[in-house]
Amino acid sequence: MTLELSRPLERLASDPAPCRAAVFLTYAFDPVFFEQHVLRTVLQLLTDPVEQAARFGEELLAALQQVPVAVFADAGVCQAGRRAPYDLVHVRDRVFHPKLAILLFDEVARLHVGSGNLTAAGYGGNVELFSTLELRYDRVDDRGLLREVDRELARMARDAPTGAGQLHLVRDELRRRLGSPRADDVVDATRWRLLSSAHGGPLLHQVFALVPVGASITRVGLLAPFWELDDADAMAGTDSILGALAEHLDPTVVIDVGVLWDNPPIERHAPPSAALEPDFGKLWAWQYEEDDKTVIEILTPTKLSGAQLHYVDARGASRRYDREVSETALREGRLWPAPDPIVFAPQAAIDAARAIFGDVRLWLHPAIQLEDDSPRRRPLHAKLVSITWLEAGRSKTLLAIGSPNASRTALLRTVGQGGNDEILIAFVVDGAVTLTDILPELVFAPPGTVQTRERLFPVGETPLGDAVESAIHDPARRELCVRWRDGSALRDWSLTYLGRELAVGTETPNGLLSIADFVLNPASCELVLASRDRSANVPILVTDLVALPLEPDGHAFDLRDLLLLMGRRIGREKLGEIRSPGRGDPDAVLDAVFGEGFEPTDVFRAWWNLADDLAQTDLPLGAFRVRLEGALGASAVWRRMVELARAGPDPGLAPTEAWFYGVELRRALAAINLGAGALADSKRERLRQFQAALTGDLETLSPAPDSGPWIAPILQFYREGTR
């Protein structure tokens, strides 16, 4: 088996085609990293998020209005700093630990399942393990797996509060591409399976159920850092992971356990010794040069003979080396005993397993390694279960990659039993694949060479953010609704947004808090709840991203600006630069380039370009809505015309002129051919709603037939042309 060494972002963004929708599941979440790196990569944004922060925010919002994105994360480990209005749902009623991403493209979906959180550490700082699959909508078993993914997304939807609609848009996009369920939409179990702790029983038993009945299992591997909160208590006997293996395995099976080694010997910390009198049963380090690079090899000396040093190497093989050369390396400080290892694993469980199985091997993953002769800390965070068996005399290996650590609440309990929410992707490969095939840097630790320890985790307080059930912003109504969770306990609390106090209280709030005239600022998409000496960030969810204004006040561009943009006579970035403060008189600049005001040809050009855009059959529904209903779309242009026409003669647009432009818009929209299919039907319904509102406005603006001799034939012309 060959593993590809790459960073998660390289795998997510390996397709030049545009992403149409995305969902991310994670335990820990860093919104700054997610927006500036993950979203920037996935949505193919060009602006620098640091050097051009304001422009990056505009570009990101424009992309999110067209590409639905939802993130589900554990509420207890979410960091602050979210600026963009993708849906961020905090999961609070369980340990939410899955790491999954699903990205939808036109021809394929990219499924990304592994161990890394949506943080800088999870996407490059740690040693992680991911499986990335390209799934075609028109392939039978790919469709079956995608329907399993959609089942998990449907489960996530129950955590999303009312008003959080991005996940629903993603699922709509996926279902449109998959079509109606078919009898042959099944997963090929020999290729891959998506396993969840929410259904199907404990994950460890689900993994073993994929091994063919009667297969002769020869080896099992467990790779995990044993870092999670639920591993703080002792693991022993059949209630532990290693003990539970006895239910499935013969005592002759080899058990490999890969764990974190926090203090590997990167450099010598003691003076060199002149005598080779190794402390047998300890790990040693031997430094040498190979291909102009410094290499540190770990070994365990076992015996000295007259001319040779006997030792066990990092792969667990017995070897011998010249004693004189070894003594020279010792005197020169290139061979030295490793400091007492700090190794995190459940010693009680390993001891219990060794009492059952004849060969339990401990493999250490060094948290610090040399890269280009410099030490770099990359701690183990990868999770893996591997099972090797013989089938017709040939070896096969089942690999289960995903989020669960080797703990009871991850692998032996379901969500319904109080276990973690976890996800694995499992698949079978030819050959015997071991942990060292997956991570060659693992070091074998013979029994007795290390004493493992467990991390102790303090019991934390109930997160302050649990007091808020949801914070939903309706941009069309300019309203923010904060719903308090029943039974929450707050004293002397305040709720603020960008330093602006929205509400305060001395007692526990309840019910619904409605804040009128609320406008979402591009600088932040979260509230701050404070109570005495504690504070928490509360994500703001937006009911409809298309309705968000591009500027905080929602009135950055006038009618001529909108017509110039829709007519493609100027770009959004250039117009924003002209309109930016301190750049002189923007109207004078536009007058000099385009002439004063706007002409009927400007309106016609805008309508024709609008119709061309809307008629594109590959235009996603979000992009279609942005062009029709967004802050720079047809609705905004038409609303501005109606406002001017109803304001009186001074603004310079008479009701009859506005009516004339409106019927031309209606005529252009009526000629659009949206084609057939579920996507076309959704677009057609949106267009129908807009056309109905447009017709209602035209009726109020329509000139009376007797207002002039030229009016009647014009009215007749448009009545016949729009039937």
pLDDT of amino acid 708: 63
User: Which residues pair with residue 72 across a beta bridge?
Assistant: 25, 89
Q: How confident is the model at residue 371 (pLDDT cuts 50, 70, 90)?
A: confident
Q: How confident is the model at residue 596 (pLDDT cuts 50, 70, 90)?
A: confident
pLDDT of amino acid 308: 92
**Tokens (6 digits) for 436:** 């060292």
Q: Quote the CA–CA distance of 701 and 703 in Å, as a whole number.
A: 6
**Tokens (6 digits) for 132:** 């990335």
Average pLDDT for the chain? 87
**Tokens (6 digits) for 304:** 């000295």
**Tokens (6 digits) for 410:** 């991850």
Model confidence over 521-569: pLDDT tens digits?
999 999 999 998 889 999 999 999 999 987 654 446 788 888 888 988 8
Q: Quote the CA–CA distance of 202 and 194 in Å, as a whole number.
A: 13
Query: Which of 276-290, 525-539, 577-591 shows the lowest mean pLDDT across its residues?
Result: 577-591
Query: Does 495 or 509 have the greater pLDDT score?
Result: 495
pLDDT of amino acid 163: 84
Q: Give how far Cα 673 sits from Cα of 523, 603, 615, 616, 669, Å.
A: 40, 21, 6, 9, 9
Which of 250-254, 302-306, 717-721 is the most confident on average? 250-254
Helix ranges (DSSP H) in 75-180: 140-157, 166-178
Query: Which of 376-385, 404-413, 590-599, 655-664 shows the lowest mean pLDDT across its residues?
Result: 590-599
Return contacts of 297-304, CB within 8 angstroms, 24+ apart. Answer: 298/264, 298/265, 298/338, 298/366, 298/443, 300/444, 300/445, 300/446, 300/449, 304/276, 304/278
Model confidence over 673-691: pLDDT tens digits?
998 888 899 999 999 999 9
pLDDT of amino acid 172: 93
Q: Is the pLDDT of residue 66 over 50?
A: yes
Q: How confident is the model at residue 472 (pLDDT cuts 50, 70, 90)?
A: very high
Helix axis angle for 586-594 and 559-566, nearest 10°, is 50
Per the CB < 8 A criterion, the answer to whether 99 and 113 are in contact is yes
Q: Is the pLDDT of residue 709 over 50?
A: yes
Q: In the chain, what is the greatest distance between 2 CA atoms, to the nearest angstrom?
A: 121
**Tokens (6 digits) for 2:** 């060959």
Q: Give how far Cα 135 sits from Cα of 1, 189, 487, 629, Å.
A: 21, 15, 44, 33
Q: What is the mean pLDDT of residues 500-512?
A: 89
Q: What is the mean pLDDT of residues 658-687?
A: 91
Of 372, 283, 285, the residue nearest 333 (C-alpha)? 285
pLDDT of amino acid 651: 61
Query: Does 99 or 709 have the greater pLDDT score?
Result: 99
pTM: 0.90
pLDDT of amino acid 236: 47
Q: Is the pLDDT of residue 719 over 70?
A: no
3-state secondary structure (DSSP) of residue 336: strand
Of 263, 536, 240, 541, the residue nearest 379 (C-alpha)? 263
H/E stretch holding 494? strand 493-497
Contacts of 72 (CB under 8 A, 6+ apart): 23, 24, 25, 26, 89, 91, 96, 156, 159, 160
For 469-485, give the DSSP string.
Answer: EEEEEETTTTEEEEEEP
Per the CB < 8 A criterion, the answer to whether 719 and 664 are in contact is no
Question: From the CB of residue 562, how many other CB atoms can be counted at a distance below 10 Å?
Answer: 23
pLDDT of amino acid 9: 80
Do the strands 87-91 and 130-136 form a parallel or antiparallel pair, or are they unpaired?
Answer: unpaired
pLDDT of amino acid 710: 64
pLDDT of amino acid 503: 92
Per the CB < 8 A criterion, the answer to whether 453 and 342 are in contact is yes
Burial of 18 (0-12, 13-18, 19+ CB in 10 A): middle
**Tokens (6 digits) for 397:** 């290996």
Q: How confident is the model at residue 583 (pLDDT cuts 50, 70, 90)?
A: low
Q: Is the pLDDT of residue 669 over 90?
A: yes
Question: From the CB of residue 183, how many other CB atoms can be counted at a distance below 10 Å?
Answer: 5
Model confidence over 414-438: pLDDT tens digits?
999 999 999 999 999 999 999 999 9
pLDDT of amino acid 226: 67
Query: Which of 2-11, 13-22, 106-115 shows the lowest mean pLDDT across its residues?
Result: 2-11
- Angle, CA of 616, 670 and 698, to the nearest 5°: 130
Q: Is the pLDDT of residue 200 over 80?
A: yes
Query: Which of 297-311, 328-342, 444-458, 544-558 shows the lowest mean pLDDT across its residues?
Result: 544-558
DSSP state of 72: E
Per the CB < 8 A criterion, the answer to whether 456 and 377 are in contact is no
pLDDT of amino acid 457: 63
Helix ranges (DSSP H) in 31-83: 31-33, 40-42, 53-64
Q: What is the mean pLDDT of residues 244-251?
A: 85
Q: Is the pLDDT of residue 721 over 50?
A: no
Query: Does 510 or 623 have the greater pLDDT score?
Result: 623
Q: Quote the CA–CA distance of 317 and 162 in Å, as a whole number.
A: 59
Per the CB < 8 A criterion, the answer to whether 147 and 117 are in contact is no
Q: What is the 3-state secondary structure of 216-258?
A: EEEEEEEECCCCCHHHCCCCCHHHCHHHHHHHCCCCCCEEEEE
Per the CB < 8 A criterion, the answer to whether 222 and 235 are in contact is no
Match 């504070």 to its residue by tokens.
535
Q: Quote the CA–CA distance of 647 and 640 in Å, as a whole number.
A: 11
**Tokens (6 digits) for 178:** 């998959």
Query: Which of 86-90, 293-297, 608-612 shows the lowest mean pLDDT across its residues?
Result: 293-297
pLDDT of amino acid 4: 65
pLDDT of amino acid 514: 94
pLDDT of amino acid 555: 47
Of 194, 2, 215, the residue nearest 114 (C-alpha)? 194
Q: Quote the CA–CA distance of 71 and 90 in Å, as a whole number.
A: 9
3-state secondary structure (DSSP) of residue 53: helix
Q: Quote the CA–CA distance of 25 and 116 in Å, as a whole number.
A: 10
Q: Is the pLDDT of residue 162 over 50?
A: yes
Of 211, 147, 154, 208, the residue nearest 183 (C-alpha)? 147
Q: Is the pLDDT of residue 702 over 70?
A: yes
For 299-330, give the DSSP string.
Answer: EEEEEE-SSEEEEE-TTS-EEEEEHHHHHHHH
3-state secondary structure (DSSP) of residue 610: helix
Q: What is the mean pLDDT of residues 26-52?
A: 94
DSSP state of 502: E
For 348-369, give the DSSP string.
Answer: HHHHHHHTT-SEEEEEEEESEE
Q: Is the pLDDT of residue 670 over 70?
A: yes
Q: How confident is the model at residue 233 (pLDDT cuts 50, 70, 90)?
A: very low
Per the CB < 8 A criterion, the answer to whether 537 and 577 are in contact is no
Query: Which of 134-138, 399-403, 700-704 shows the lowest mean pLDDT across its residues?
Result: 700-704
